[in-house]
Structure 1
Amino acid sequence: MDLTRTLIIGNSGSGKSWLAQRLAEHLHAPWTDLDRIHWLCDEHSIPRPRAEALGMARIAADEPCWVIEGVYGWIVSEVIHRATALIWLCVEDEVCVDNIRQRETKDDERLIALLEWAGSYRTRDGSSGFAAHRRIYEGFGDSKILLKDRVEMNALIRQL
């Protein structure tokens, strides 16, 4: 499997960043978190203008080697033609919600919204939901892997 340019998609809290960091270290490649492209600020309240976000994603995907991860199917669709591999973290919604609770330190409105967002993955419409990610995965013609839990993610890392 050619992991030279790997896209990782999945729900919030599924482990995308965890896996991307380890894969990027193994490949000695840059890692791009699409949250940093989509949002203008750390508070995740102001989205970047769409054209600017897509331009940033194209620049990241033009590199010869990379790991890009995120939930935003509309950005993924812009760069997927450059990917050599696609990994879909198809983790149960409840697990994603629990992972978010464990990693977040503040209990505020933003956390409540994120928990609701993660909990609605399988029913959520739009490019960041389960159905959209399934279409991306099924339509990808190169190497692809579907991982359902942290055990499978760890096994992939061990195989490298």
Structure 2
Amino acid sequence: MSCGVALAVSLLLSDPNVAMAAALPPPAADAPVSVAGEPLFADIVARSGALKGVVQGWIEAGVVEQSDFAAGAAFSGFRTQAAELAALDMQGHVILKERGTDGDLKCILRGIAEDIPVKVAAVEAAATPAERRVALDELAYLLNDNVEVITAPPQPEV
């Protein structure tokens, strides 16, 4: 028995995941490919997750009760980071459009890029604690969507 075959057999016997992966059929040549591992999209996921964490922290800390919250330095810095994230989402949209791939993700990224400034403005415009709570909840939801649409396994076009 050659060394290569002996090594392959020992790997198959030592890790059941290797055997299961080897038993799977190869992906189709035209199967959709995930972009989540590409640097731009990984950066979008990281930034969006971090900003969602900030928003969740604000909600838990009760900033909805602070009428001057949106005028503070913390929110000003957040607004800048959110604008940068929106620009990256639009860049992701343009890249996917140029590739001619993944119609759904391409459209969703454009929508998120356009919605981020709207949701940030809603937090700024909120006049009551209830309005601030809704605006922050919607912003957190949008930022979470940004992560999930990129990290979801790609689906074949229908």
- TM-score, L = length of structure 2: 0.25
Which structure carries more helix by proportion? Answer: 2
- TM-score, L = length of structure 1: 0.25
Q: Greater CA radius of gyration, 1 or 2?
A: 2
